[in-house]
Amino acid sequence: MALWSGRFTENVSEFTQRFGASLPVDKALYAQDIAGSKAHAAMLGSAGVIAQADADAIVGGLERVQERIEAGKFAFDINDEDIHMSVERALIADVGDAGARLHTGRSRNDQVATDTRLFAKQRCEDLMAANVALRQALVKQAEEHPDVIMPGYTHLQHAQPVLFAHHMLAYVWMLARDFERLAAARRAADASPLGAAALAGTTYPLDRQMTAASLGFSRVIPNSLDAVSDRDFLLDLSYACSVSCMHLSRLCEEIVLWSTAEFDFIELSDAFSTGSSIMPQKKNPDFAELIRGKTGRVVGDLVALLVTMKALPLAYNKDLQEDKEGAIDAAKTLEDCLVCAAGMIETMAVKPESMRAQAKKGYLAATDVADYLAKKGMPFRRAHEVVGHLVLLCEQRGCDLDDLALADFQAESDLFEADITSALDLDAIVAARTTEGGTGHAAVAEQLALAKQVLAADEAAL
């Protein structure tokens, strides 16, 4: 029989017992559940709600339950609906009446919200650490290749040359924002619902500040109805996971493209590649593809929780039991993806010659040639047209802009002089982009220093 079975004369069927149970999912929260119960028991003892000896017996008993779970010696029973019931039943079996006093002034409604918030805080911290490790790998690649030039793209068409380091750092900034989102999700979770009881608070003189402080919460949730029904913190975590996974999917899509014979910009290490069961020559970027693919389930976890929350009346509803599985999955999936991506980026070999060879194709100097004319006084829109004609000429001849003779340039405009070569040279084109945040070597060096500063601050905040 369930611990709440006093007013019942019939048991639920085995099927409905399983259908209603959350134990297979929430047993992952055993440590948080035990921590919450220890804090509640200690507070009950100190407030004189239960005898200090009973509080001490409860705390000792909970520690033994935790040891048994961690030693794999705890027999989880599906007749227990959830981890809260499992732990409480085991506690009562161990310490008897004292254990039966633990649930005084508490409901599973504030208990589960407390456990889930503690869990969410921890997972945010784990993810923030994994985020830092991936950023370190990207920064390392940027630092190791300060002069490597690659084509920059818009519409996946060659656009303007950029530094490979600049491209890597773009992902570092995405991840820096992901870190902020995870930190915000952590702050959202960092409030104690304990003491809200079922929905309305209790008649016992509970010290909510005391349990909040002993569990490491920075504040108490001011409204008992809100305390037991709010799952915004899990939405925040799932959203942070979704955006971060989406960023990883973009990075991985580029890794997949760059690994093709067509691009040939990088080679993944064997440790992050797989072969084919039929084609002996194959080296597939499976893990990059898998990260790209896993983004779907993480976004699915977010959407599932949003829809579960929609139109729920106050306060606790059993629908809320559906909150944990997706959030746990989103956090675990993102963590795995971050760890995998860090190893993959850290060990990938960059191919500067292939990148440069591609950067020579597709008239990447065109904007700079137009800028050359504009700087000599021609209105930019007119200069754009002149260079368009030159590109057309190259297309007809099957050559690139730097294959044209000075006379070809001068046939389009008499503003062209011998120094036009400076607008055609890849290294000069890149170096000339001196704007703050631009791809010029000096600007990228400054950006790298800033990215490292933010990274160091984030690492120190872990």
Q: Which residues bind ligand ARG (CB under 6 A)?
A: 22, 26, 81-82, 108-109, 112, 316, 318, 320-321
Strand partners, 267: 349
Please, which residue, 116 or 447, has the CB nearer to ligand ARG? 116
Please, which residue, 22 or 131, has the CB nearer to ligand ARG? 22
Rounded Cα distance between 264 and 327, Å, is 38
Amino acid in position 208:
R
Please, which residue, 22 or 358, has the CB nearer to ligand ARG? 22
> Taking the complex as a whole, how short is the minimal distance between the CB of residue 452 and ligand ARG, in angstroms?
43
- Say how many C-beta atoms besides its own lie within 10 A of residue 383's C-beta: 22
346 near 140, Cβ under 8 Å? yes
Cα three-residue angle 189-193-196, rounded to 5 degrees:
165
Find the catalytic residue in 46, 269, 276, 422: 276
> Taking the complex as a whole, how short is the minimal distance between the CB of residue 320 and ligand ARG, in angstroms?
5
Find the catalytic residue in 155, 192, 214, 269: 155
Please, which residue, 288 or 305, has the CB nearer to ligand ARG? 305
Cα three-residue angle 25-104-4, rounded to 5 degrees:
55
Rounded Cα distance between 146 and 216, Å, is 44
Cβ within 8 Å of residue 244, ≥6 positions away: 127, 131, 175, 178, 181, 182, 334, 338
H/E run at residue 430: helix 426-431
Is 155 assigned a catalytic role?
yes
> Taking the complex as a whole, how short is the minimal distance between the CB of residue 312 and ligand ARG, in angstroms?
12
Please, which residue, 287 or 316, has the CB nearer to ligand ARG? 316
Dihedral sign for Cα 395, 400, 406, 412, please: positive
Please, which residue, 108 or 181, has the CB nearer to ligand ARG? 108
431 in helix, strand or coil? Answer: helix
> Taking the complex as a whole, how short is the minimal distance between the CB of residue 104 and ligand ARG, in angstroms?
16
56 near 46, Cβ under 8 Å? no
> Taking the complex as a whole, how short is the minimal distance between the CB of residue 324 and ligand ARG, in angstroms?
6
Strand partners, 153: 158
Amino acid in position 203:
T
- The token duo for 390 is 């030159």
* 159-181 CB burial, b ≥16 within 10 A, e <16: bbbbbbbbbbbebbbbbbebbeb
Please, which residue, 82 or 88, has the CB nearer to ligand ARG? 82
> Taking the complex as a whole, how short is the minimal distance between the CB of residue 111 and ligand ARG, in angstroms?
7
> Taking the complex as a whole, how short is the minimal distance between the CB of residue 19 and ligand ARG, in angstroms?
12
If you ran DSSP here, which 8-state letter would residue 274 be given? Answer: B
Cβ within 8 Å of residue 127, ≥6 positions away: 182, 240, 241, 244, 331, 334, 335, 338
Please, which residue, 322 or 336, has the CB nearer to ligand ARG? 322
Rounded Cα distance between 460 and 324, Å, is 30
DSSP calls for 178-204: HHHHHHHHHHHH-SB-TT-TTTT--SS
H/E run at residue 152: strand 149-154
Q: What residues are annotated to the active site?
A: 155, 276
